[in-house]
Each structure stands twice: as structure tokens, then as C-alpha cells.
Structure 1
Amino acid sequence: MRRWQGLILAACCAAGVAEAAQEIRVGIYMLNLGKLDISTGAFTADFYLLMQSDQPITEGSFEFVNGRATSVERLEMAPDGTEIFYRIQANLSTPIDLKRFPFDTQVMRIMLEERTNTMERVRYVPLVEKSGMDPAIVFPGWEIEGWAMNTAAHEYAAYGETYSQAVFAVRIRRITFNSFLKTFLPTIFMMLIVMSSFILNPEQVATRLAAISSTLMATAMFHVSITNQIPPVGYLTFADKFMVLTYFILLACFFLSLHVFVLQGRKEEERARRISRITERLVYMVTPALYALLFLFFRS
């Protein structure tokens, strides 16, 4: 009997604590976003912050877990302290994922967290109807896909405490057409030149070898210029996969053409022509198929 009484008492106490937690409704309206630094994930944000509650709110009882505020200006405050309106400018950072580069999508986050009170005392609730983005915001080189306002629980396992977070996230992605033109089109043109060299007669295989060799060197240098656009990462980006496939195709063309060249040196003309015809068909059929498979199934 005492056991059941203890359980009921504990449940009532927990319910009392939960009911005692102050709910603060948080809304963020973005005014301006600064340029995203891909190498560090750093960006600047200028926004309004609205905090509402049924109880008085402690002024300035929040912090940014992914950066620091450079300016916090209180614009309005209700006489009873249940509503506070700020304008904030902050230097923030966000994790960068470049696996799909140059077709990558990034999420720029404003992560606001209660500074002193755990979730048992203060809990943030998203105020979606008071959140949004100024339509005049333009992000050069990127398309703004949308925004989201939500809350989360941030647990500090080392201290056994959990704090409430409000997260405003802006999703952006690179402009697909521009990314394709700058990253892939030059390599595709070089590959077309190599493929056109297979129209030459087997007797002109030396010219074909020269075209393949020069294209291979140009491709390697172009790959270096692409990788210089992003920081070093521990995985292959989509651009890297594209270039690795290009290396594989060029090396295969080079060694097959070299084999034809060797056969001609041995005066095995008929065999050289047969291998040259097979190589030509493989290049025209397999190369487009490999690139199509890459773009369809290996962009993630």
C-alpha cells in the first residue's frame, strides 16, 4: 500500500513540476543574412526576436549556442514583463556538408537557448505566426528554399541537465545551372574532344594518344581548381566522384589506344583495326552511360 502511495505522490510531484515550468513563446523574423563562409560555416544574421509568456520574462536570459551576439537592442517591453521585443545582430556558425558539392544544400541556423533555467523551469515554444523572413533578402549564388521555426531539448549529459532551445533554420542551395556550367561543362567539352578523336583511322592513333594525354593533364589541373573552392574534407564530394570517373575513362582510352599503337608497331594491322573499332563503340556507348548513372544514383 505504501508503495502505491509513494508512486502516486511522485507522479503528482512530477506533474506539479511540469505545470510549474514557464512557457516562453519565441518568434524570429529574419531581416538580413550575411555571406556564408564555406570554409568555416560562419555567417552573420540580423533579426527580430519576440518572446511572449503568461508570466514575467527575465530580460536577456538567453544565449546563442552556435555563436555570439554583437548587438542586442531591446525595442519594446510590456509593462508586466510578459512580452519583450529585441533586434539582434549576431556572428553565428553552422555545420557544412559538402557531399553533394557543387549541388549542395546548407542549413543556416539561429540556435537560441535558455541561459540559466533548465527545462523543468523554462520551456521554449515556437511562435511560428510571428516568425519569417524578409522577402527582400537575396543570397548571391544560392537559392533560399525556405525556413523553419522549432524547438528542441539540449541535454548536457556531463551535468545531468537539459535546457530548452529555439531553432530558426534557413535552408539554401546552390543554383544548379550555374554550378553545372562552372564545374562540369569544361570537363564535358574536353571529353567530347577525346571521344571525337576515335573517329580517326587506326593509323592516326598517335594523334589520339596526344589528345588523351593533354586532356588528362588539363582535367587534373581543373580538378585542383575545383577543390580549391572548398575546404579539405574527409570524404569524396560529388565533384570528386565526377572527376575520378573522368580519370578512369581517360586512362582506359589511353591504354586501349596505346595497345593499338603497339600492335601497329608489330605490323599486326588487322588486329589493331579490330581493337580500334571495338574501343570506338565502347567509348561512344559506355561513356555517356557511366556519366548518366553517376548523375542519377551517386549525387548524395
Structure 2
Amino acid sequence: MRSVIWYLLLIIVAVALIGIPASAQDQVNASAQIQEPAVVHIGLFVVDFNRYNVAEGTVETNFYLHLRSDSPVSIDDFEIMNGQITTIDTIRDTPNEKNYRIYAIITTDPNLLHYPFDNHTIPIIIEPKVLSDQSEVMVIDRDSTGLDTDADLLGWTFTDTWHSITNKSYEENGTPYSRAVFSYGIRRDSASTILKFFLPILLIIIVTLSSLMMKTTSRLGLNASMFLAAVMIHWRIADAIPLVGYVTFLDFFMIITYATLVMVLVSGILIMKFAEIKDLIRVEQVYHWSIRIIPGISIGLYVLLFLTLMIPA
């Protein structure tokens, strides 16, 4: 009888020992399931962009936003970090999947280093309003992401599109938030740039350098009028962009243009001065050297400046 009791006790202890690890493992698994963040698949398909204002750094856009998750999801849980939604229409509405048509104004940070041959990136940044990446992470839905082939932005050409998922913390060592970044590269239309800006300036430079072949004092009036025309064109084009804390391609170009105009103007003044005192030798010297030096310096500086466009901004 006593042996039977001992035998039963051994069985009870063995069962208890086997059950303890299983229970502990169940608790660990349950804890892991609780801490696992919700995954939201996000897709953004841009239909069009309109009215890109470089001075204000804004552009209008409309796009389809697709959200899909194993848990309930809604546009109310997200926000556009660099823009403001003006209109939103719900196309598909189920607890775990949403599809919206959105009209919004997006703000950008223009890079005007190469202006007027500038390239820009239009980002659309979407982030959860409240939940950090410990509670919710986003994944790009490539099947519902892209740019419409008929999309057009007046005065600009699309260069590339790309998208990524990043983490953003708003404090040092703070809690990161998952954010989806959809980026669209644009480049200013080259034909428009040449016709509106460089063609008038090119004509001014040609007329100014051609005046070096004139020995008469009447060329001073021509040079002065060309200088005034260059200033007016510069003012009109520079007024289209905001004030920036760096020198743009346009600024360097106009500095070279002004230097060329000043050199030609000074040579004309010297010719007039020496002609008044009947110093024909110096008149010939100024004429001889100005027609050989000024065009070479001017053209060389322009070539070096245009080579800088090969350096990424």
C-alpha cells in the first residue's frame, strides 16, 4: 500500500515538472504576441501635380491612398507631415482595408543652387498620429504605389520616383515613429529656361562684345543700354525665387555678365578719354588688347560656370 502511494506521488511530481515549462513558454509566447506591432501596408498612387510654386515651396496634388492591415485601419489614424489635405473621398471602406481619393497641398524645401537649371524633390510624408513603431509599423504596398503616366506639371519634367520607410524621433533618444516617404523628382524644362532667360542675355553679351570692334565713342551709349537691360532681366527672373542664404547659378552667371559689361564699358571710356587728348597710340593699345582679352576671359568664365552643373546640388 505504501509503495502505491509513493508511486502516485512520483507521477504527480513528474506531471507538475512537465507542465511548468509549457506554462512558462505559453506566457512568453503570449507576451510576444501582445508586444508585436500592427503592420499597415500603405500604397500611394499620384494622379497629378499642379501649380508648383518655387517661391512658396508648395505644390497641389491629388492621389489615391490605399491602407491595408490585419487590424482595423483608418485615414484618421494618419497624417501628412508636410502638407494639408483639402478634400478626401472614401472609395473603399472595410474594417481592414481602406482606399481614398485625396486632394492636398504639399510643402517642399526647394534647392535653388543650380537655378534656373534646378532639380527638386516633391515628398509626400505619411506618419501615424499617435502610435509609435512599437505599436504600428508601415510597409510600402508596391502594387498600389506609383505615378500616373499622364501626370504633368507645367514647366517641369519628371525625372524619377522612389519610396521608403524610415523612423523619425522628435526627441533625442526618443520614441521613433514609422513613416512612409513617397518622393518624386522634377527638373525645370530646359527649353523654357533657354528661351525666357539665356536667349535675351546671350543677345546682350553678343552685342556688347561686338561693340569692341567699334572705335567710336558712340559705343558708350550702346554699352550703357545693354547694362541696363541685363539688370532688368536679372531683376525679373530673380524675383521669381525666394531669398536664399547661398549663391545660385543665376547669381554667378550675372556676376560674370556684369563683369563683362563693365570691362567693355571701361575700355570704351578709356578710348574716349585718349581720343579727346589726341593720344592715338593709346587708343590703338586699348582697342588692340580689349578686343583680345575681354572676350577670352568672359567666354572662359562662362564655360567654367556651366561645368559646375555637372556637380550634384
TM over 0.5: yes
The one-letter amino acid paired with 1:269 is: L
The one-letter amino acid paired with 1:172 is: I
Q: What's 1:21 paired with?
A: 37
Deviates more, 1:56-65 or 1:111-120: 56-65
Answer whether contact 1:22 1:53 (CA < 8 A) is retained: yes
Out of 134, 146, 149, the position equivalent to 2:163 is 149
Q: What's 1:216 paired with?
A: 227
Out of 98, 114, 123, the position equivalent to 1:84 is 98
Distance 2:270 2:52 in 1: 50
Offset, 1:22: 1.8
Q: What's 1:133 paired with?
A: 147
The two structures have a TM-score, normalised by structure 2, of 0.83
- SS of match in other structure, 1:283: helix
5+ residue gaps in structure 2? 1-27
Q: Deviations over 1:197-244 (max 9, x none)?
A: 1122x3x1x122222111111111111111122223333221121111
Q: 1:295 to 1:17 in 2, by over 3 A?
A: farther
Out of 60, 78, 84, the position equivalent to 1:44 is 60
Q: Deviations over 1:95-152 (max 9, x none)?
A: 1222211111121121111111101111111222320111121211111112212112
Q: What's 1:162 paired with?
A: 176
Larger Rg over CA atoms? 2
Q: What's 2:285 paired with?
A: 274
Offset, 1:278: 0.9
5+ residue gaps in structure 1? 1-11
Answer whether contact 2:168 2:179 (CA < 8 A) is retained: yes
Deviates more, 1:253-262 or 1:219-228: 253-262
Distance 2:56 2:159 in 1: 22
Equivalent positions of 1:165-176 (< 5 A) are: 165-176=179-190
Equivalent positions of 1:1-300 (< 5 A) are: 16=32, 20-58=36-74, 60-78=76-94, 81-157=95-171, 160-200=174-214, 202=215, 204=216, 206-297=217-308, 300=313
Offset, 1:245: 1.0
CA RMSD, 1 decimal:
2.4
- SS of match in other structure, 1:60: helix
The share of aligned pairs that are identical, in percent, is: 27
Q: What's 2:14 paired with?
A: none
Offset, 1:19: 6.6
The one-letter amino acid paired with 2:156 is: W
The two structures have a TM-score, normalised by structure 1, of 0.86
Q: How many residue pairs align between the two structures?
A: 283
Offset, 1:158: 6.7
- SS of match in other structure, 2:76: coil
